Structure 1
């Protein structure tokens, strides 16, 4: 818990710094106006929504042409859920649900998001990931997806993980965009029926690294907006 509070304080400082940075992607399409998670008891699911000033999901990253340096854009829900609630082994860090787009690679091998019967060409389609975020001062945004050693047998990932040495899952939930809103639907059993958590909303730019051991594999380089303004996770799940 102490470590999570420390990370949260770091997130606040980082967001204040990164939001001021210039970026070709820093537009109204990533200016969060509202964030909401509603629980539908009848259907046993939660609906997670981010509402932006512009058009949600309209902006996608420009191709880098390779995995190393590949850009990733994300609408992210940091939460106070535990890693074990979403299928990871116990570890320190912040559990976040990230809705991402990245045209240079596909990391959802079980899912065919564009319904063309090809499972490895959908990276540009907005899709969800569970990730564990930790403080990382090696990147401008000050955060990265937590990594582990491949030989570490104590690490448990959900069976839908993409096979990378990071605390990342590709759960395959349905993501939809409609005007200023991007949504994802999460069945209750996929979060261990924990439907009373706290959360926030963040829009961010990330980048993949496969060539430099001094940098994280997937780091946050810019934070465009934060729903609460201070990343205090002030929001609670509402009953629909």
Structure 2
């Protein structure tokens, strides 16, 4: 089946730009209140290690409970779709992950969202289909920007479709946001979730600082007063203040 996400988002974005009265709208949240107490979202530690023998960067997040054991409930549509994320904000530059000279916080996000599949190139559950891996935790590179319109204070940076200066990797998600689906493997074992990234994908930048965050994000395609993908609730921050104090090993 053809992935319909880009077309749906294009239509929804066009609607927000042409419909009256949307500047005063608000976003109805679909987050489960129980998530805030889930031990699977409470961070106890995080590391990013460079395995020289394999030339791989291993992003690891340790939790109080089983890693990846908690997933969001389905909303039934793209607008308002919940996204649960284990996020590694870094000091990498946008150009290090193929996003040109754009300004923002480069972050590796391990996400689950049961309402849509935004990785049409990858078959994460290995069943021969490429459009049914929605709820399975998978990786994205995202460029985050400060955004006071949402409680979490951050959103994925957006751009106008007609902007010809935008640079994205060919594995981008097809949405007018700095969001890439490079297909890096995700491994969960016990209370640890890991993402495996080839060092060459980061232009061999193996030394940088980072932090670790678990949060609730939500898709918005109907209210132009809010971001298309914003952070609405932060569950845990490794550094407590998002200062990105940790260094790669």
TM-score for both structures, normalised by structure 2:
0.86
What is the Cα deviation at residue 127 of structure 1?
0.3
Q: CA deviation at 1:118?
A: 1.1
5+ long unaligned stretches in structure 1: 1-21
Q: Within 5 Å, which residues of 2 pair with 1:187-202? A: 187-202=198-213
Partner of 1:143: 154
1:46 positional shift: 0.7
How far is 1:230 from its partner? 1.4
Alignment of 1:41-52 (within 5 A): 41-52=52-63
- Equivalent position of 1:40 in the other structure: 51
TM-score by length of 1: 0.89
Per-residue CA deviation, residues 175-216 of structure 1 (Å, 9 max, x unaligned), is 011110000100011000000000000000000001111111
Q: Aligned partners of 1:237 and 1:89: how far apart in 2?
A: 23
Query: Residue in 2 aligned with 1:219?
Result: 230
Per-residue deviation, 1:24: 2.2
Larger CA Rg, structure 1 vs 2: 2
**Which stretches of structure 1, 4 residues or more, deviate above 2 A after TM superposition?**
none
2:131 is matched with which residue?
A: 120
Distance 2:100 2:134 in 1: 26
Aligned partner of 1:184 in structure 2 is: 195
1:208 corresponds in structure 2 to 219
Alpha-carbon distance in structure 2 between the residues aligned to 1:78 and 1:167: 14
Q: CA RMSD in A?
A: 1.2
Task: Identify the residue that residue 12 of structure 1 maps to in structure 2.
Answer: none
- Report the secondary structure of 2:123's partner residue: coil
**Structure 2: segments with no counterpart, 5+ residues:** 1-31
The alignment covers a number of residue pairs equal to: 218
Shift of 1:228: 1.1
Report whether the alignment pairs 1:132 with 2:143. yes
